[in-house]
Structure 1
Amino acid sequence: MDESRRIWRDRVARWHKSGHSARVFAEQEGVSAGTLYSWSRRLGMKRSEYRQRLDKATLPALLPVVVAPSGATAPSLGAALEIVLPDGAVVRVPPTFDEDMLSRVVRALGGSR
């Protein structure tokens, strides 16, 4: 396999793993989105097929959330709770929060309550 083919195979695989659109990924790589698509087709690497083959173990797992009953003492009653997700996203829960809203957010993120 020649060098440019190897480079593009690696680049296309990283694009498929990234979850980004071709435009966003190509911009980050300093290449055109059209060229990225072209190499993907040339190499026979269809994004939808690649995403289906990803091992579920690589996806972030959500941990169960237990909401303490109202009136329970917390280590710091004035501090907000921060939940940092593996992708770097942060969910901030203020000390006075709506339990139903938090439950809906947890369900939307793939957890259960």
Structure 2
Amino acid sequence: MHYLFLAQLLIMIVGPLVKMALRVIGFGFVSYIGFNLVIDQARGYMQSSMGQLGAEISGILGLANFDIIVNMYFAAIATRFILAGIDKAQDRKRNQVWRKPGGTSIEA
């Protein structure tokens, strides 16, 4: 008899957790696929545009490690989107740290 109560309690606790996890995973999966598609399109456009440059300019960009710069740029964009997505998935907003003087702030 006690096992039936424990089973019902477990279903009541685990059920909403599983639904929330599947919802977050589904949203994350769709966002990840869409984001990768956009980033791949942009990267492909940049690579095709760089292929049309002259040999001298390509050599200078190679010496400047421009390919590494482009990869770092796209990595920064991806990181920013991921962090923004994590905040939205947790349904929390960043708290404002600084408040203008007056109003509700404490003045020293």
When normalised by structure 1's length, the TM-score is 0.25
Structure with greater proportional strand content: 1
More helix by share: 2
Mark the structure with the bigger radius of gyration.
2
